[in-house]
Amino acid sequence: MMTRFHAVIPARFGSTRLPGKPLLDIAGKPMVIRVYERALLSNAGSVVIATDDERIAEAAAKAGARWVMTSPDHPSGTDRLQEVAARMGWADDEIIVNVQGDEPLIPPDVINQVAANLAANPQAAMATLAEPLHEVTQFTNPNIVKLVRDHQNMALYFSRAPIPWARDAFSQGVASLPARDMYLRHLGIYAYRVSFLHRYVGWSPAPLEQLEALEQLRALHYGARIHVDLAAANLPPGVDTAEDLERVRQLFA
């Protein structure tokens, strides 16, 4: 049975490395519109761009995309999603998938997968995805978020630090990863129930969330469970740097 859900694309104009990132041109269209078109290929009942900037709203309107103007004061994309859910009047039991606005190559199957996983796991408040890590450079890179999960595929922790730490294998340094399938890279796509979003925005930021700069740690701090599955399709890297942008432009060309 097909899971019913909404897809929301948070799009902020401000970006430290690429200012105005959602509006950067990719083969004749703003990046946020490229993401919107990918989300339309999923099973989402509706796709909405959530922005705090008139320029992005104007680009969305010009492309015929659905958009919502949200507060510029949200500390995170999760808070922005909650405002969209409230403005749209979506019911507590409905599912929202947060599609990152800088992933113009995101496979629609991945969007469907994370929504279906949340629907299939009522004990979870959120669902997200991961992929295996094989390179030591990724394992030790603080910009790549790692995670560990339990036997029910529920997240135990997310960190920018290298986890899990193989005590014996790494005793002489991290030259290679042990040949095991437990080294995972977190992929930044989430599914939420609307009722959880309403609870989340009422919680104070958690100390670990602030320490690691990872908003999903707020959910774990307050006892919410996060389902983690391996992505069903390869998720191409998003656009964080000028080099990423050029690579994506070449793929579209």
Tens of pLDDT, residues 117-143 = 999 999 999 999 999 999 999 999 998
Q: Are strands 6-11 and 46-51 parallel, antiparallel or unpaired?
A: parallel
Residue 15's pLDDT is what? Answer: 72
**Spatial distance between the Cα atoms of 103 and 227, rounded to a whole number of angstroms:** 22
Q: Are strands 6-11 and 184-193 parallel, antiparallel or unpaired?
A: unpaired
Q: What share of the chain is helix, strand, coil (3-state, %, to 5)?
A: 30, 20, 45
**Spatial distance between the Cα atoms of 238 and 244, rounded to a whole number of angstroms:** 7
**Residue 86 pLDDT grade (very low, low, confident, very high; cuts 50, 70, 90):** very high
Q: What is the pTM of this model?
A: 0.93
Residue 17's pLDDT is what? Answer: 74
Phi, psi of 58, deg, nearest 5:
-65, -40
Burial of 189-213, coded b for 16+ CB within 10 Å and e otherwise, reads bbbbbbebbeebbeeeebeebeebe
Amino acid at 65: A
Instruction: Please compute the mean of the pLDDT values over residues 48-53 and round it to a whole number.
Output: 94
Residue 220's pLDDT is what? Answer: 98
Per residue in 22-36, pLDDT tens?
999 999 999 999 999
pLDDT of 214 higher than 80: yes
**Residue 238 pLDDT grade (very low, low, confident, very high; cuts 50, 70, 90):** confident
**Residue 14 pLDDT grade (very low, low, confident, very high; cuts 50, 70, 90):** confident
**Spatial distance between the Cα atoms of 190 and 186, rounded to a whole number of angstroms:** 11
State which residues form the domain around 40.
5-251
Q: What is the CATH number of the domain that holds 208?
A: 3.90.550.10
Our count of domains for the chain comes to 1
Burial tier of 164 (Cβ tally within 10 Å: 0-12, 13-18, 19+): middle
**Spatial distance between the Cα atoms of 127 and 118, rounded to a whole number of angstroms:** 5
